[in-house]
């Protein structure tokens, strides 16, 4: 592994939290992700299922976890199945976990080879009334094709045991994954630190004439050099008007003198993700107008971190609306919105947010959960919770003026005071200009 060994205590505690939520006389089954295939015989890099990793720490394909909390035999309450290796596999694919190593990683004492899974499942199914199955219930999932190993197993299991009671695992897992432990926060912080070094490298590299993909390469070099798998998500390196395309991915244009460069790019570490956005002047100096818009966005960032992010607050109904009202004030000050129009809109509490005037310049959400997934699971009741990790990413987009500005930091929400995991990454305009000048 590129990353340092994670204490198995993390995964043991995660399983304990889930076991307390499982129904009586039940078994739960989770599968590893699959290796994604390209055309012909090519495959992509393996990335583990977030749910399985959260409960086991095993970063290997063809892995299965069975939980049976009420079983009288302690060795049957947690069973981890891993792929048995061979000389052939070792030559072609490399090392696979031994049973002892799987125990060391996961903290699960009962480890079996994958071939033993089906007979053990048949035994446990006879002894329990309820089967709890996993499914991707992420609120933002919109994949047109989603027929994973979990999906195939669910169909197979329900066909084989049609008379059992079936329950959904996702709501239980989502609820416990939201609050981050100190081990998890440490891993996210490491990803943020790697991202910080990548950004520092970029401040020394960017100048007029540099291509967006050259900047992408500089980030990737730094991330991999420090033990990251690479990008936490597809990087957005958007110069000039490209910044006004929210999911710009071409990264193939030249950075022009006098323009701005929006970079939404961050590293992962040990399957945990960071998420950073910075906007910098290509020539190292903001124009007066660019600086005015930049400072407006930064004030919203500070407001969110210092005042608005509070455990127990409703994310959409309260937080996003509070940010929107503050953004309206900033847009009025920038002479982008008419104060009278905004005043009339504020009188209409039933007017949907997407129909308000500010949405022309700020059309996306302010925060999302962060963790094992870049858009991590979120409480079903939609409120911030203690030790939840979220982003703060307001922006103002001005295609008529040829630039857009977005800023983003990663925050741990706490009633005692929020923790900014990216507080050490330059964000003040003066500091960015000074660092670029020094380079």
Report the distance separating Cα 361 and Cα 341, nearest Å.
15
Among the listed residues 24, 247, 349, 438, the single catalytic one is 247
Instruction: Respond yes or no: is residue 83 known to be catalytic.
Output: no
CB-count burial class (<10 Å; 0-12, 13-18, 19+) for 41? exposed
CA dihedral 269, 270, 272, 276 (to 10 degrees): 10
Instruction: Respond yes or no: is residue 397 known to be catalytic.
Output: yes
Instruction: Respond yes or no: is residue 376 known to be catalytic.
Output: no
Which residues does 62 contact at the CB level (< 8 Å), separation at least 6?
Answer: 32, 82, 83, 114
Helix (H, G, I), strand (E, B) or coil at 120: helix
φ, ψ for residue 191 (rounded to 5)?
A: -60, -40
Instruction: Respond yes or no: is residue 393 known to be catalytic.
Output: yes
Among the listed residues 59, 222, 373, 408, the single catalytic one is 408
DSSP string, 375-410: S----TT-B--TTBEEEE--EEEEGGGTEEEE-BEE
Instruction: Respond yes or no: is residue 150 known to be catalytic.
Output: no
Which DSSP letter does residue 35 get? P
Instruction: Respond yes or no: is residue 179 known to be catalytic.
Output: no
397 neighbors 170 (Cβ within 8 angstroms):
no
Report the distance separating Cα 282 and Cα 280, nearest Å.
6
φ, ψ for residue 169 (rounded to 5)?
A: -85, -35
Among the listed residues 41, 87, 159, 354, the single catalytic one is 41
Among the listed residues 294, 368, 376, 433, the single catalytic one is 368
Name which of 169, 195, 352 is nearest 263 in CA terms. Answer: 195
Query: Among all chains, which residue has been given the structure tokens 């009334």?
Result: 129
Among the listed residues 184, 222, 275, 376, the single catalytic one is 275
Instruction: Respond yes or no: is residue 275 known to be catalytic.
Output: yes
Instruction: Respond yes or no: is residue 406 known to be catalytic.
Output: yes
Among the listed residues 184, 222, 264, 433, the single catalytic one is 264
Instruction: Respond yes or no: is residue 373 known to be catalytic.
Output: no
Report the distance separating Cα 71 and Cα 272, nearest Å.
33
Question: What radius of gyration do the chain's Cα atoms show?
Answer: 24
Report the distance separating Cα 180 and Cα 276, nearest Å.
19
Furthest CA-CA distance within the chain:
75
H-helix or E-strand spanning residue 91:
helix 87-92
> Which structure tokens are listed for 189?
């912080």
In the β-sheet with 277-281, what is the strand arrangement from edge to edge? 236-239, 260-264, 277-281
Q: How many residues does the chain have?
A: 439
Report the distance separating Cα 52 and Cα 148, nearest Å.
14
Active-site amino acid positions: 41, 247, 264, 275, 364, 368, 375, 393, 397, 406, 408
């Amino acid at each position: 592994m590129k990353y340092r060994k994670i204490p198995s205590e993390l995964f043991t505690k995660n399983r304990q939290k889930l076991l307390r939520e499982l129904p009586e006389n039940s078994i739960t089954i989770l599968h590893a992700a699959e290796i994604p295939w390209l055309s012909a015989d090519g495959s992509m890099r393996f990335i583990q299922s977030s749910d399985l990793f959260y409960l086991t720490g095993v970063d290997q394909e063809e892995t299965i976890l069975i939980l049976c909390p009420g079983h009288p035999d302690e060795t049957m309450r947690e069973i981890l199945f891993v792929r048995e290796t061979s000389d052939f596999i070792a030559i072609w694919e490399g090392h696979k976990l031994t049973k002892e190593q799987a125990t060391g990683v996961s903290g699960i004492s009962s480890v079996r080879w994958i071939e033993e899974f089906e007979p053990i499942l048949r035994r446990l199914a006879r002894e329990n009334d309820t089967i709890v199955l996993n499914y991707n219930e992420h609120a933002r999932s919109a994949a047109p094709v989603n027929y994973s190993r979990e999906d195939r197993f669910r169909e197979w299991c329900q066909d084989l045991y049609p008379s059992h009671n079936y329950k959904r695992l996702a709501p239980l897992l989502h609820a416990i994954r939201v609050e981050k432990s100190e081990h998890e926060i440490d891993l996210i912080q490491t990803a943020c630190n790697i991202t910080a070094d990548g950004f520092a490298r970029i401040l020394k590299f960017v100048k007029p004439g540099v291509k967006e993909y050259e900047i992408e390469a500089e980030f990737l070099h730094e991330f991999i050099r420090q033990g990251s798998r690479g990008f936490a998500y597809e990087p957005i390196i958007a110069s000039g008007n490209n910044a006004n395309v929210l999911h710009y991915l071409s990264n193939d244009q030249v950075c022009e003198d006098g323009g701005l460069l929006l970079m939404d790019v961050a590293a992962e570490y040990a399957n945990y993700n960071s998420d950073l956005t910075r906007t910098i002047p290509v020539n190292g100096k903001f124009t007066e107008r660019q600086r005015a818009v930049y400072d407006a966005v930064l004030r919203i960032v500070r407001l969110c971190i210092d005042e608005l992010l509070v455990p127990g607050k409703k994310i959409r109904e309260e937080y996003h609306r509070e940010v929107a009202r503050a953004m309206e004030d900033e847009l009025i000050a920038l002479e982008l919105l008419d104060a009278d129009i905004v005043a009339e809109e504020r009188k209409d509490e039933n007017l949907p947010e997407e129909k308000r005037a500010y949405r022309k310049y700020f059309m996306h959400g302010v925060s999302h959960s962060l963790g094992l997934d870049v858009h991590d699971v979120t409480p079903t009741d939609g409120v911030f919770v203690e030790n939840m990790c979220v982003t703060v990413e307001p922006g103002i987009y001005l295609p008529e003026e040829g630039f857009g500005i977005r800023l983003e930091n990663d925050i741990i929400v706490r009633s005692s005071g929020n923790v900014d995991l990216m507080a050490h990454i330059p964000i003040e305009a003066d500091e960015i200009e000074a660092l670029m000048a020094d380079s």
